[in-house]
Amino acid sequence: QVEESISSSLNQVLDTNLHNSIGRKRLTADNCALVILQVGLECSVKAPDERLYNSPILGLVGTVVSEPQIQ
């Protein structure tokens, strides 16, 4: 599954500066990136009836917004 491989390949597709942080900052950056990539994948599935639309997207994006800010 593409979704399952994203988290293991995150270091290869993101700016390396995002991964130079440690602890909670890195975890927060990774979580935000995963949600954004998940939204992109869910919106671009082949079958239109399986794609995400406004309501589920807002819910996923809301999880990113509610995360603590990276300092």
Chain segment 7-20, per-residue pLDDT in tens = 666 666 666 665 56
- Residue 71 in domain: no
pLDDT tens readout for residues 18-68 = 556 555 566 676 777 787 887 788 778 788 887 777 666 666 666 665 655
Is position 70 within any domain? no
Report which DSSP code applies to 67. Answer: S
Number of domains present in the structure of the chain: 1
Q: Tell me how many degrees the CA angle 16-18-71 measures, rounded to the nearest 5.
A: 150
9 burial via Cβ count (<10 Å: 0-12, 13-18, 19+): exposed
Are the C-beta atoms of 61 and 55 separated by less than 8 Å? no
Residue 13 CA to residue 62 CA, distance in Å, equals 23
- Asked whether residue 44 is domain-assigned, the answer is yes
Give the pair of three-digit tokens for residue 34: 């995963």
In a domain, 37, yes or no: yes
* Structural domain that includes position 58: 2-65
